[in-house]
Chain A
């Protein structure tokens, strides 16, 4: 009907103009700020390694890198694809299990086995994705939920080489940096590896976000019929998103298991999933920088407020509910707006 396409086209145009703005200024100022950030990121650990608190900060950064990859990947399917999957942590765990078990049981060097992690996670994602991504919202939710619960069960009650009698994987060979170079520099090495993985993942996801298909998907996240009429095959693209998301998530899982030397089945309990969801939502689901911001906030803050555990949960729940309802674009666009206005004010003063 002529009516329908005119209407949806103009809706798309108005949304797409807003997206262009969102991408615009950051595409321009990106390189300077990014350059500075990279230099800082590279230099930082060398400064911090010397003292204990510094090493703790490095530990937090490593966690930030790990969860930052996972939340960005989750945002990819949730914010771009509009797919509400509860399987993110399960895919993370599969990555960790794959690399951990192979390196532990078969004596393979963790530097090699870690490459199994993303592969295993991607295969699992394809297995879940193929049947569920053709279906609408609630079915994906429940299928992924079921999968996650099944995995949790398996990880707790399964054979000893996986479940370790309920304690999970233990005594997994680490990457060995700390043994080679001592606690300080060893952790720095882990940091650099994590930074590298984080940068690769972020870059790939950035490219997808700003690709034409990615942007049209974001604008039409909830209008699949329009996407189809435009010649985009939503199913194949969703499958691709799902697989990519799993790839990086699994990789992060492999990384963490060789950093910790262990993986507990407790990570498959709901609290971690909620935590990660909060990171994505708080920062702004559907935006590019949102999950990164959210992960940074929620990785640091809990350490600060460690004592008040229950209140922290309460706050997290409130955050989720309130942001979803009142500020669905999350904190990042609000902050970006604020910064932009500050810059404008600054420039105006300069002119005067």
Chain B
């Protein structure tokens, strides 16, 4: 479904990603692990169109999307949920979710999508008219995820979902992602450590200094603890 070949991207004069290739099949859930500063976020941004890759090809659902604008990539069904705290602070939960369905195709089905999202995220269903900035950290993270689901997403790219969250909230977030996976959506998750990815990943890649150095199934990766320790400390 998503095929990245020899991707190279960076900011200004410097190159962050070097000939990076990966694939995510339909219905697959793939995790990319890597330490901070090695290009996890850049990878997602280059795929979703927030930054332009300097070379390489990104194909999604049969189309080449390498140089398209972010809004066109969204239209194709590739949804990027960025790291950090990005719900619209002055809009309500409901309004945030509705914005997730901005594209015309999604907008038409927004009522149905809202029901789906509220089912997956009961926390949001309880307070649809609350301003996003008054939500707790965990609730905001749920909102960001729910917002991503409001579109007609075929593949969801999630950037470090647990970043900055209090420890007792983290498992909730990952459980929610597992639930999302059960709905059949393809997922590409980038994360800093492998603590919570059980039950979440069909395959794992290891990212180091802007390129993917290893690939394997979860079991193989987790068994090689030495490997993980070396890369992720």
Contact = CB atoms under 8 A, between A and B. Distances in A.
Touch A–B, Cβ below 8 Å: yes
Interface of A: 1-3, 6-8, 10-11, 13-14
A6 B36 contact: no
Nearest to A6: B14
Contacts of B11: 7
A248 B13 CA distance: 39
Nearest to B12: A11
A1 B13 contact: no
A10 B36 contact: no
B153 interface: no
B164 interface: no
* Shortest Cβ-Cβ A-B pairs, 5 listed: A2-B37, A11-B12, A3-B37, A10-B13, A7-B11
Given A3-B16, A8-B12, A10-B12, 15 more contacts: A1-B37, A2-B37, A3-B36, A3-B37, A3-B39, A3-B42, A6-B14, A7-B11, A7-B14, A10-B13, A10-B14, A11-B13, A11-B14, A13-B13, A14-B13
A8 to B, nearest CB: 8
A10 B10 CA distance: 12
A7 B37 contact: no
25 contacts: A1-B36, A1-B37, A2-B36, A2-B37, A3-B16, A3-B36, A3-B37, A3-B39, A3-B42, A6-B14, A7-B10, A7-B11, A7-B12, A7-B14, A7-B16, A8-B12, A10-B12, A10-B13, A10-B14, A11-B12, A11-B13, A11-B14, A13-B13, A14-B12, A14-B13
Contacts of A13: 13
Contacts of B14: 6-7, 10-11
A2 B35 CA distance: 11
Nearest to A3: B37
B9 to A, nearest CB: 12
Nearest to A9: B14
Q: Taking each of B16, B37, B39, B42, which has the highest tally of chain A beta carbons within 10 Å of its own beta carbon? A: B37
A7 B11 CA distance: 6
B40 to A, nearest CB: 10
A11 B13 CA distance: 6
Q: Size range of the interface on B?
A: 10 to 19
Contacts of B12: 7-8, 10-11, 14
A6 B13 CA distance: 10
Interface string B7-22: 0001111101000000
Nearest to B10: A7
Nearest to B40: A3
A14 B16 CA distance: 17
A312 to B, nearest CB: 41
B159 to A, nearest CB: 14
A11 B10 CA distance: 12
Interface in B154-208: none
A3 B35 CA distance: 11
Nearest to A5: B37
Contacts of A10: 12-14
A13 B16 CA distance: 17
Contacts of A14: 12-13
Contacts of B36: 1-3
Interface string B86-118: 000000000000000000000000000000000
Contacts of A1: 36-37
Contacts of B13: 7, 10-11, 13-14
A7 B39 CA distance: 12
A8 B11 CA distance: 9
A291 B11 CA distance: 33
Q: Taking each of B10, B13, B16, B36, which has the highest tally of chain A beta carbons within 10 Å of its own beta carbon? A: B13
A8 B12 CA distance: 8
A307 B112 CA distance: 70
Contacts of B39: 3
A20 B16 CA distance: 27
A238 B211 CA distance: 42
A155 B12 CA distance: 49
A10 B12 CA distance: 8
A11 to B, nearest CB: 4
A13 B39 CA distance: 22
A10 to B, nearest CB: 5
B101 to A, nearest CB: 33
Nearest to B41: A3
Nearest to A11: B12
Q: Taking each of B10, B11, B36, B42, which has the highest tally of chain A beta carbons within 10 Å of its own beta carbon? A: B11
A8 B37 CA distance: 14
A130 B14 CA distance: 38
Nearest to B35: A2
B210 to A, nearest CB: 10
A3 B41 CA distance: 11
